[in-house]
Amino acid sequence: MDSLGKALITGASSGIGALYADRLAKRGYDLIVVARHQERLKAVLERISGDTNRSVEVLAADLTNAADLRRVEQALRTDATIELLVNNAGSAMTGHLAVSDADDLERMILLNVVAPTRLAAAVIPGFIARGRGTLINVSSAVALAPEWINGAYSGTKAYLLSLSVRLQHELAGTGIRVQVVLPGAIRTGMWEKAGTDVATLPPDILMDAGDLVDAALAGLDSDENVTIPSLPDLADWDAYELARQNMFPKLSRNVPARRYRAVAENVVGAR
């Protein structure tokens, strides 16, 4: 099979990222796999190379480390064979903000927000110059449901959704695809890292990571800009988007809404 070019995948040593690597290699992409753990990446390389005969490059990098992040950015800027970037690397936190460790929060924001933003900014100019390319940002359903989990974590995922929607507008008509994926709860090792035993979660809300990736790629094939693998009826998302867009003309006006002026008038009148 002729190569479709290279796909660079972050967080590719396990879980969702490793499955993206497997599926994209089987589709015909050569790979650049990025994660902190070089030995785990080598295992991914050996398995995928053996199964698919595709070229797999290992780029060990901690994306919360500025120097490592710059190395990945440089690869994205200079390798004109990169056709697809999967911004998958991320970390999660559970629990309330008041009891969260501030340093852990900062590392999560660096990984979930700063890194994918810089990587997207590094790859998009080359995509524009070539008139093609695909960016996949792995967000989360908590971007739409911040009540479910740690507010800082859900905030990072809402940021990725917002970034992706804006990029879809900026890059319309350029030949570049931007897809954002909003998984629900996925059966991966991230739960344990975040301090939650996955066995305590209701089985009916947990999706296997392989099913998630297959659904996300099916959404990409169907030209979805926003893919929510668990959502049975896409009309629900369309209705949500329509309600959001209906507010656009009302979000920035030259006077406050009448209800606030009425309160102010009542306060002044009571004095």
Q: Which residues are catalytic?
A: 153
Residue ranges in 53-150 assigned as alpha helix (H): 66-78, 102-109, 115-130
Q: What contacts 208, CB < 8 A, 6 or more positions away?
A: 186, 187
Q: What contacts 216, CB < 8 A, 6 or more positions away?
A: 136, 138, 179, 181, 183, 227, 229
**Dihedrals phi, psi of 177, to nearest 5 degrees:** -95, 140
The tokens of 170 are what?
Answer: 């900026």
CA distance 146 to 158: 9
